[in-house]
Amino acid sequence: MKTFKRNFITLAGICVALLISGCGEGNEQGNEEESEGVHVTTSFSILGDMIEQVVGDRGQVDYIVPIGEEPHEYEPVPSDFRNVSDSDVFYVNGMGLEEWLEKVVDNASDTPVVTVSEGITEIPLEGEEAPDPHAWLSPKNASYYIENIVTDLSERDPDGEDEYRANAEAYLEEIKELDQWIEEKVQDVPEDKRTIVISENAFKYFGEDYGFETEGIWEINSHEEGTSGQINRLIDIIQEKDLPALFVESTVDQRYMETVSDNSGVDIAGEVFTDAVGEEGSGAETYIDMIKHNAETFVNGLSGTN
Ligand SMILES: [Zn+2]
């Protein structure tokens, strides 16, 4: 479980403020009325950042799956159960992303679970009825997440509503600018090169919104295989479309895409972020920066300006 630095500071500030009345273990419940804001836990770092932008200084946001790991098949540990139990609410993506959700719910007392992707038009996994869960990869879906988050936070902490709404509005403004920037940027890619080749076929929402086809070695990480049949299928597509670039995610075993690259003669043009924000120093530590990085990487790779 990771906690955002700013919230450590905020929490420390609250502790100092409450020191006289006693702030620390065992006092949490007694001080509930005095402490402002909410304690939210969420499943993975990308939602963690979105929620953090809305909560601002008013509360604490934690996430479970560490950066660098993917959230599909994570194995929750006892401290995760404890952390969710200690939270006011547990926000999840849903759409089948958190396959380990039941384990947390079974082990984490009565903390309410809220699905913050509610309202998004689902795109099914190839050949299945189940939705692809990676809706966040298109910033056009961010407004659903943000609205669900703000609505729930405001119900839980009505005194904070104005603050949450103001934070959300400013954040959505930034996301709108990001969306417009991507719309313009993708025009640099020749139309017949607008195909994103990646290990996990996670960019369907992005592809639909910005006019790209998407092809993965495998469909979703929870089915991850990387068989020679899957690899050969992809190589055929790459050669047929004469694509200039391949991409690989920060959270997968990159050897499969390296095999595709070696056998197709097409370079991996860059690493993109799908299931986690970037590590400290990556330049993709936030949702906005990771989406921007992804779009830039696709455009540079596929327009040959890499
Ligand atoms: Zn994924």
For residue 280, the model assigns a pLDDT of: 95
Q: Which helix (H) or strand (E) holds 300?
A: helix 287-302
Distance 12 CA to ligand 1 centre (A): 34
pTM beyond 0.75: yes
- Judged against a pLDDT cut of 80, whether residue 27 lies above it is answered with no
Task: Give residue limits of the domains in the chain.
Answer: 2-179, 186-302
- Judged against a pLDDT cut of 90, whether residue 80 lies above it is answered with yes
Distance 134 CA to ligand 1 centre (A): 6
Cα Rg for the chain, rounded, in angstroms? 21
Distance 146 CA to ligand 1 centre (A): 20
Architecture of domain 2-179: 3-Layer(aba) Sandwich (3.40)
Start-to-end CA distance of the chain, whole Å, equals 36
How far apart, in whole angstroms, are the C-alpha atoms of residue 188 and residue 32? 54
- Judged against a pLDDT cut of 60, whether residue 22 lies above it is answered with no
Architecture of domain 186-302: 3-Layer(aba) Sandwich (3.40)
Distance 73 CA to ligand 1 centre (A): 10
Distance 77 CA to ligand 1 centre (A): 20
Task: List strands edge to edge, sheet with 38-44.
Answer: 2-3, 59-65, 38-44, 89-92, 113-115
Distance 155 CA to ligand 1 centre (A): 30
In this predicted model, what pLDDT tens digit does every residue of 180-214 receive, in sequence order?
A: 999 999 999 999 999 999 999 999 999 999 999 99
For residue 35, the model assigns a pLDDT of: 59
Whether the domain at 2-179 and the domain at 186-302 fall into the same CATH topology: yes
Strands (E), 4-100: 38-44, 59-65, 89-92
How far apart, in whole angstroms, are the C-alpha atoms of residue 99 and residue 71? 8
Protein residues with C-beta less than 5 angstroms from the ion ligand 1: 202, 221, 275
For residue 6, the model assigns a pLDDT of: 41
What is the rounded average pLDDT for all residues in the chain?
A: 90
In this predicted model, what pLDDT tens digit does every residue of 45-73 receive, in sequence order?
A: 999 999 999 999 999 999 999 998 889 99
Distance 102 CA to ligand 1 centre (A): 18
Residue 136 burial class via C-beta count within 10 angstroms: exposed 0-12, middle 13-18, buried 19 and up: buried
In this predicted model, what pLDDT tens digit does every residue of 208-253 receive, in sequence order?
A: 999 999 999 999 998 878 999 999 999 999 999 999 999 999 999 9
Q: How far is CA 218 from the centre of its chain?
A: 19
- Judged against a pLDDT cut of 50, whether residue 28 lies above it is answered with no
Distance 252 CA to ligand 1 centre (A): 9
Instruction: Provide mean pLDDT across the span 76-98.
Output: 96
Structure tokens at 35: 């402490």
Confidence band of 126 (pLDDT split at 50, 70, 90) = very high
For residue 85, the model assigns a pLDDT of: 96
Q: Which helix (H) or strand (E) holds 53?
A: helix 45-55
B/e letters for 61-99, b = 16+ CB within 10 Å, e = fewer, are bbbbbebebbbbebebeeebbebbeebbbbbbbbbbbbe
Strand partners for 198: 216
Instruction: Provide mean pLDDT across the span 106-129.
Output: 95
How far apart, in whole angstroms, are the C-alpha atoms of residue 124 and residue 288? 25
Please report which residue ranges of 68-201 form alpha helices under DSSP H: 78-85, 101-107, 142-156, 161-185
Distance 160 CA to ligand 1 centre (A): 33
Distance 207 CA to ligand 1 centre (A): 15
- Judged against a pLDDT cut of 50, whether residue 295 lies above it is answered with yes
